[in-house]
Amino acid sequence: MDTAGGVSFILQVASWLAAPEHWVGSDGIPTRLAEHLLISGVTAAAAILIALPLGIFFGHTGRGGFLAINVANLGRAMPSLALLALMLPVALSLKLGLGFWPTFFALVPLGIPPVLTNSYVAVRQVDPDVVEAARGMGLRERQVLRSVELPIAAPLIIAGVRNSSVAIVATATLGAVVAGGGLGRYIVDGLARQEYPRLFVGALLVALLSIAVEVAFGAFERIAVSTGLRAPSETPDVHIQERPR
């Protein structure tokens, strides 16, 4: 594409965005964005509800470490489209139809590993001397967990939740391949109709949404993490070990 072609394409994208019909109705940007946020939010909540208590329990008791670590490696080897494809027959045989449920079934297993592994490692790596001191001061197990281990583990746990959420938001795009809604619709339909402005806008919105989720969690992390734990060395970049979706 030469410069003139590039400019004319950008104008096409701009006029696509400016068209009022792309902002209303079941295929409008607000609806697609809401669908994307709904499937991502429900899935992330389910993944966190399953993985967080397990990871914290494993970390606190020191049991299940092998499982917690290896589930992360397994998650990395699992291609998202393959998982989505495999969940399609499952959802259909449960009579749950296309779209939402196969996407949900595929995204939950993708969302679990970062939370499980990070929360396990986070609680496990709390200095045993600190935990001993807390017990010596007469704290009960519950209190040790709530007042000592969890606050110290918070940055890594939040990093895990962030990785999981970003991965889910990104992969929810693929739901459109199995007739789901969300912003991936624009990409899949844009491809099918060779309507490149639609495709481009969809891609841009998905990328922006992923980055926005990442940034939002960064801000949340700054609020939720105790100032005493905020030395630069305390922010391990575990999230970067996650894979693209």
Partner 1 sequence: MRPGEPLILWDWTFNHLPDIARRVQEHLVLTGIAVGVGFVLAFALSLAIRQVPQLYAPVTWLAGVLYSIPSLALFAVLIPFTGLSIATAEIGLVSYTLLILVRNIVGGIRSVPPEVRESAIGMGYSQWQLLWRIELPLGLAVIIAGVRVALVTTIGLVTVTGIIGQGGLGSLILLGIQQFFATPLVIGAVLSIALAVVLDGALVVLQRRVTPWTRPAA
227 vs 233, beta carbon nearer partner 1: 233
| Residue in 140, 193, 222, 243 binding partner 1, rule: CB under 8 A | 243
| Residue in 39, 44, 174, 225 binding partner 1, rule: CB under 8 A | 174
Token pair listed for 240? 């970067």
Applying CB under 8 A, the span of 29-37, 127-135, 151-159, 194-202 interacting with partner 1 comes to 194-202
- Write down the least CB distance from residue 34 to partner 1, Å: 18
| Residue in 30, 53, 89, 97 binding partner 1, rule: CB under 8 A | 89
| Residue of 184, 199, 186, 242 lying closest to 217 (CA atoms) | 242
Applying CB under 8 A, the span of 40-48, 88-96, 112-120, 135-143 interacting with partner 1 comes to 88-96
Rounded Cα distance, 234 and 211, in Å: 23
Token pair listed for 5? 């072609």
| Residue 50 contacts partner 1 per CB under 8 A | no
- Write down the least CB distance from residue 244 to partner 1, Å: 5
Span 150-169, contacts to partner 1 by CB under 8 A: 166, 169
231 vs 240, beta carbon nearer partner 1: 240
| Residue 9 contacts partner 1 per CB under 8 A | yes
Applying CB under 8 A, the span of 14-22, 36-44, 86-94, 134-142 interacting with partner 1 comes to 86-94
Residue 200, Cα to own-chain centre: how many angstroms?
A: 22
Rounded Cα distance, 65 and 121, in Å: 8
DSSP class of 144: I
Evaluate whether 165 touches 44 at the Cβ level (below 8 Å): yes
User: To 5 degrees, how large is the angle CA 198–CA 200–CA 203?
Assistant: 110
| Residue 135 contacts partner 1 per CB under 8 A | no
Rounded Cα distance, 203 and 36, in Å: 13
| Residue 207 contacts partner 1 per CB under 8 A | yes
| Residue 79 contacts partner 1 per CB under 8 A | yes
C-alpha dihedral sign at 123, 109, 216, 232: positive
CA 38 → CA 7, 8, 35, 180, distances in Å?
35, 35, 5, 12
For every residue of 73-106, DSSP letters joined together read HHHHHS-HHHHHHHHHHHHHHTT--STHHHHHHH
Other beta carbons less than 10 A from residue 221's beta carbon: 18
Evaluate whether 145 touches 81 at the Cβ level (below 8 Å): no
| Residue 83 contacts partner 1 per CB under 8 A | yes
| Residue in 48, 51, 190, 217 binding partner 1, rule: CB under 8 A | 190
| Residue 240 contacts partner 1 per CB under 8 A | yes
> Which residues in this chain contact partner 1 in the complex, by CB under 8 A?
1, 6, 9, 76-83, 85-86, 88-89, 92-93, 166, 169-171, 173-174, 177-178, 184, 187-188, 190-191, 196, 199-200, 202-204, 206-207, 210-211, 214, 240-241, 243-245
